[in-house]
Chain A
Amino acid sequence: MAAVQDAPVEADNEKEIKTETLNDAAGNHASAAGGVIPSPPVASTSSSGPAKAGGPGSEEQQTLMAVLQFLKKNNFVGAVDVLRREAGILEDSDESQGQELAASALGGAEAGDATCTLSRASSCTTSTPAVAAAPAKGAGEHCSTLSAAFGKRKESGEDQPDVNVVLSAYSQQGDPALYQGYYSGLKKFVESVLDCHRAELSQLFYPLFVHMYLELVYNNHETEAKAFFEKFSGDQECYYQDDLRVLSGLTKKEHMKGNETLLDFRTSKFVLRISRDSYQLLKRHLQERQNNQIWNIIQEHLYIDIFDGMPRSKSQIDSMSGSLAGEAKREANKAKVFYGLLKEPEIDVPLDDEDEEGENEEGKPKKKKPKKDSMGSKSKKQDPNAPQQNRIPLPELKDSDKLDKIMYMKEATKRIRLGPESLPSICFYTFLNAYQGLTAVDFTDDSSLIAGGFADSTVRVWSVTPKKLRSVKSAADLNLIDKESDDVLERIMDEKSASESKILYGHSGPVYGVSFSPDRNYLLSCSEDGTVRLWSLQTFTCLVGYKGHNYPVWDTQFSPYGYYFISGGHDRVARLWATDHYQPLRMFAGHLADITCTQFHPNSNYVATGSADRTVRLWDILNGNCVRIFTGHKGPIHSLAFSPNGKYLASGATDGRVLLWDIGHGLMIGELKGHTDTVYSLKFSRDGEILASGSMDNTVRLWDSIKAFDDIETDDFTAATGHIHLPENSQELLLGTYMTKSTPVIHLHFTRRNLLLAAGAYNP
């Protein structure tokens, strides 16, 4: 883990960071096991009782043992000792303590309620590539229960026994010939119940189908499995097609080893939300029939989240289902999220200067005045939903940052107010001669630079203003200049290096994500080679290579305040980094498939990650908890955008749909249908009135986000249950569809004056 230390922030700033707890829970398990970590607050979430507690205490112990075993296996002797010391005392006493330890030792994942800890903890183990937690009873090697060896096939040899343990849960079997009978019996029952319950109980079909099929396969009943699949695969919801395709290819026990999708399915409980009435019906039916097979599966592999109240309708269920592991538990979205914006530091804007400009601008002083006032008041009043100003240590503003803020405010006064009647103009930045190689684009906030990541491992930066890109002179030349002169900043630049674009070489695989720092001094890029690189835009050289993801890194994103950044990739873990630390500060584990996109909340206290498991998760940076799980997408999520006020989140997926989420309530509040291909880019306008979405289908679409947010009625019931009726109005919300010329839109950006910039590579 060699890395170059970089000092983008002042020294005192750094010091401040170090004293914070934030720094302590460095996600690396070695350091985590160092014992000095105050465990993250388990706080509000741990209280909720397990719905179906199958001896949580012993499971906790097992988890602990598993961790111990793993550490031993990998010769982390010190860590083992420490953990022993801590846990050994607690071995048979404090349950929550063990839980805490398990969660924290595994990289600060969320500390959820007791029943889910095990599965989460086991999924956490994916976070470190070599981890395979093998829970064992006692001190012996005899394994009996779950383990999570997400055998990335690299270590498959080493992990195989563990995989067997995972799958061994399927070993208890009934007569294979009866499976079809069981399933069709249940089907018949569901069809016979009242309409209001039918939709809810239908949710059972898919997880039961999959688990039954896997049981058949695991026990080498290949022909029965095939017959079973053929008979019932047609009944499943169409949005499970992708998973069914994977399943259909799998007909041998041997195939199950190393199949990540399966392991996900097996190790995480499929979550269903069913009303109490429906659940009673089901229970009664299964008990009457003595249908133990199905009951066993439900007990072991399903998590049924029972709620009191009206059964949900089919459309309600459909809108929320589709993810790899069912819906989110209600508890998962109960945590308080401080979605408000931080108070902006007060900067004295040279008013006279601005007034001058305002009048020069064929002045509309009337319009400007109130706007400025509103802005001022907004920033002065502390938002009740905002986190504490110092909840996350943020870098102090430098003089240049203040200047930029002033620039920003000046520009903001000239901003065009958008709405359904005044749509933004769209400028398209077309990458020519990219030969299908453009993989990522980013604009700076002030729209002066554009960066592109390419499949040929290069990152290119263009200046889109007449100002050319210059790099700083070499050290020898810098010695020659007069350091006292007023224009020293100008003098350090090498005029000879001025050019419209610069190419940054360093990665050894396609660059999948690029992100500018807010101060425009740095650029981040992440690549298939497993590294995230930090580039200086002063010297156009690589400063740091952050190594931690050992698999392709799909996306990276700078915090809106700089200094921090988030990365996520194929290893299913999102990592939070600070630019001056070569190890991650936080690791966010919990996704069941690749993390495909990442986004910082505007207040920098939260990050959102979208994943190929078709969920969006919101993570608290302070403690590493997962505070929101949004399900409802039917395909891998490829774009995320927070509304400027921090209240809402939009996500776009390969299914071409854009979903809107209320962060505070943890609810889906809108579904925007229109795109016919993957939505690769989402962006709210600067004031949040318009949501722009760019897609692979060569269109940019503009949506009326104000209307989408206002139309939603959030009464107590929906807020309590999370069951909302989505208005079928996505066509009304669509303000315009704008075609490009054979150019997929892969990035969108609103300038400070609300001009929409789109970018993509021409695909002849």
Chain B
Amino acid sequence: MRVCRGGAAAMADREERRFAEVPRESIRLMAESAGVELSDDVAALLTEDVCYRLREATQNSSQFMRHAKRRKLTVEDFNRALRWSNVEAVCGYGAQDTLPFRPIKEGDLFFVEDREVNLVELALATNIPKGCAETMVRVQVSYLDGKGNLEPQGTVPSAVQTLSDDLLKYYQQITRSILGEDPHLMKVALLDLQSNSKIAALLPYFVYVISGVKSVSHDLEQLNRLLHMVKSLVQNPYLYLGSYVRSLVSSVMYCILEPLAASINPLNDHWTLRDYAALLLSHIFWTHGDLVSGLYHQILLSLQKVLSDPVRPLCSHYGAVVGLHALGWKAVERVLYPHLPAYWANLQAVLDDYSVSNAQVKADGHKVYGAILVAVERLLKMKALSLSVNAEGGIGGLPRPGGIMGCRESSPGLSPPPEPLSEPGLGIASHLHAGGAGCPWEDWTPVPLPAMYCELYSFFGDSLAVRFSTGPSLGNSPPAPLAQPPTTRKELPGGTANLDTARKMPQLTANLNISPRQDGSPHGELTAPSMVSGRSLARSSSSSSVQRSRSSSSRPGQRPSGLSRDVFPKARFNPLPAGPPIFSFVIGGRQMGRRCQGRRFQTTFTPSQPLSAVSSRTYAHKLPVIGRVGKPVRRWTCSQYSLHLPL
């Protein structure tokens, strides 16, 4: 049955027959393959019988099709007919998609491709496909009083592949109103897109429109509208997005990560767009992430890539951070947290630059800073929560794996579904696991909470503590109390002129700090918490010998004045013998309130050059980039203080 040879020729011979015939040679061939030699007579007889039985089965199967009220005869119908006539059914051809019928040139053979299926792989596959959408019934008034209600009669597609006039009109109206001027119309269109059950055929077209984000990156408004369109499509319960998820995600990621042309003008609020896109990304991921296997890791990878690329503008970094944040605290823990020490240095350099020309960069830097802080804060909170739940479970005598359960219960949706987590062998996971060796009580967590807190505290100082103080307290490592007010904290007005006041940018304060470490380098201090966590930091120790000097000379007198004072309560966590003093800087955010310790920045970079080369005019055409703070990128990378990039 599977091998038909020269069937067409037989057809041509006897045109009066309106059915296909299996030629004698095929029968003989099949007999041979079964190890039987057929004589001519037998083959002829068999051939005729086979043809007849085939026709009979086909005729019988057609009644199953008729009663199923279909036009298409399926393999299942044929098998039913076979089963009712006590013939074994033909297995393996029930696939919905068409089976390619292949010829072999030499043998004049035709066969259905029958690829081998790796059952083990199939059985162990973790990305179990989402079931088909639920069957549902919708009602609409089609014809009122026997007259066409809205649409003219008779404009029905013969096949949906070729777009019907109705659909085409719908498509035009929808795109026009979404991308048009009228906000009310847009709202209506979006709502319809969200609830219309019959636009499955239009999905590829809409996805195509949305992929147009790349061409309108100068127009925030259009980008916004397209993102809204994504949201509507994602929320439409009747649409099965399938592999279009990938395309939608890439469009959304574009809005999150790309240095959009609209970002050049600092007045454009592209930050909100990125926030929205990040939210959308997480929404797509949580609702449709299982449609595409490995999507989670792909997203994480691209976010990490952006984050670790110093050439990228700060707004891209911002996007990466909010993207990670939106993907849940585990994503933050896996990607952002291990990357923080390396990134921190760059960021600090930006924030430490007080030159006027750096103001915009710094403002962007503060944005990133704020995003990181929010992400990290939630990371700590969620982690603490998961630990406490874990501890409760531990009392019961059953050690639960990690805090996943607790997390799920308390805040569903904050941790990725188990599928992507359990998928091994991807770059990030292995990388993260390598860093997290030696933590016996949480095998999936690289860093225990106290150590993590310590390390983060070393970055953020009390600004973290303040925000964190509302969270659950931890018995073993109480967060630093706010007992010690900063002794030397000064408000620096630097950069405020360029800042959007509405944004309430935190101010930077330069501090002199006496490090408990022996060497005077600031990163020496960083290694202290890293030793607690058993993590080897990427920072090269050679940088310690380099005397750090500030590029901005706006407050040169600060450093010596605060030289001998131990300002930070961090020392409590780090009861190491005091070393030579190091410099640190604190941003005293205005919104922090009086009791705030402020944030401390450290940098291990040599002071950047004054930004005289970059005029304010050319600056307007460039986007804030960390590397542009002091020196060209290439020098950066070849310098001995280069970042260690984990990827």
Where the two chains meet, the residues of A that have a C-beta atom closer than 8 Å to any C-beta of B are 153-154, 230, 245-246, 248-252, 254-255, 259, 422-440, 450, 452, 454-455, 460, 462, 464, 501, 509-510, 512, 528, 551-552, 554, 570, 594, 596, 612, 636, 638, 654, 677-678, 680, 696, 698, 702, 735-742, 744, 746, 758-759, 762, 764
Contact = CB atoms under 8 A, between A and B. Distances in A.
A430 B140 CA distance: 8
Contacts of B156: 698, 739-742
For the complex of A and B, 5 pairs with smallest distance between CB atoms: A423-B146, A426-B143, A433-B133, A249-B55, A428-B142
B59 A246 contact: yes
A252 B49 contact: yes
B19 A735 contact: no
A239 to B, nearest CB: 16
Contacts of A570: 63, 84
A729 B482 CA distance: 96
Contacts of B133: 432-433
Given A249-B55, A596-B67, A764-B160, A435 B132 contact: yes
Interface in B41-96: 48-49, 51-52, 55-56, 59, 63-64, 66-72, 74, 76, 80, 84-86
7 contacts: A259-B56, A431-B137, A433-B240, A452-B137, A460-B135, A698-B156, A746-B69
Given A248-B17, A744-B69, A432 B86 contact: no
B422 interface: no
Most buried by A among B66, B132, B140, B153: B66
Contacts of A740: 142, 156
Interface residues of B, number: 57
B198 A741 contact: yes
B56 A739 contact: no
B142 A153 contact: no
B144 interface: yes
B137 A462 contact: yes
Interface in B101-158: 132-148, 153-157
B52 A455 contact: no
B66 A638 contact: yes
A174 to B, nearest CB: 25
Contacts of A439: 67-69
B32 interface: no
Nearest to B58: A249
Contacts of A434: 135
B145 A433 contact: no
Most buried by B among A249, A431, A455, A594: A249
Nearest to A741: B156
B143 A738 contact: yes
B136 A455 contact: no
Contacts of A594: 63
B168 interface: no
B146 A255 contact: no
Most buried by A among B68, B69, B74, B143: B69
B430 interface: no
Nearest to B154: A739
A574 to B, nearest CB: 16
Contact of B66 (A154, A252, A654, A736): A654
B19 A249 contact: yes
B418 to A, nearest CB: 27
Contacts of B71: 677, 696
Interface in B141-193: 141-148, 153-157, 160, 164, 166
A245 B18 contact: yes
A464 B137 contact: yes
Contacts of B614: none
A528 B80 contact: yes
B153 A739 contact: yes
Contacts of B134: 433
A270 B485 CA distance: 110
Given A249-B19, A249-B56, A433-B240, 10 more contacts: A248-B18, A255-B49, A433-B132, A510-B64, A510-B67, A594-B63, A738-B143, A740-B156, A758-B142, A762-B198
A574 B48 CA distance: 36
Contact of A742 (B18, B69, B142, B160): B160
A742 B200 CA distance: 13
Given A425-B146, A450-B137, A510 B68 contact: yes
A654 B67 CA distance: 11
Contacts of B74: 436
Contacts of B157: 741-742
B137 A254 contact: no
B16 A764 contact: no
B137 A250 contact: no
Contact of B153 (A154, A596, A738): A738
B145 A252 contact: no
Interface in B1-51: 16-19, 48-49, 51
B201 interface: yes
A439 B55 CA distance: 25
B344 interface: no
Contacts of B85: 153
Contacts of A736: 143, 146
A554 B64 CA distance: 9
A430 B137 contact: yes
Contact of B52 (A250, A702, A738): A250
A252 B69 contact: no
B66 A636 contact: yes
Contacts of B561: none
B616 interface: no
Contacts of A758: 142
Contacts of A437: 68, 135
Contacts of A512: 67-68
Given A435-B132, A450-B137, A702 B146 contact: yes
Contacts of B63: 570, 594, 612, 636
Contact of B143 (A254, A425, A654): A425
A545 B136 CA distance: 27
Contact of B200 (A245, A436, A737, A764): A764
Contacts of A431: 135-137
A677 B74 CA distance: 19
Contacts of A762: 198
B137 A738 contact: no
B238 interface: yes
B197 interface: yes
Contacts of B67: 439, 510, 512, 552, 554, 596
A464 B140 CA distance: 12
Most buried by B among A423, A431, A433, A454: A433
B146 A429 contact: no
Contact of A551 (B84, B147, B153): B84
Nearest to B19: A249
A738 B142 contact: yes
A252 B44 CA distance: 13
A153 to B, nearest CB: 5
A21 B134 CA distance: 48
Contacts of A638: 66
Contacts of A698: 156
B43 to A, nearest CB: 15
Contacts of A737: 153-154
A254 B49 contact: yes
Nearest to A226: B16
Interface string B187-211: 0000000000110110000000000
Most buried by B among A255, A462, A741: A741
A455 B69 CA distance: 10
A140 B164 CA distance: 72
B16 A230 contact: yes
Given A439-B67, A698-B156, A464 B19 contact: no
Contacts of B198: 430, 741, 762
B197 A432 contact: yes
Contacts of A764: 160, 200-201
Most buried by B among A429, A739, A762: A739
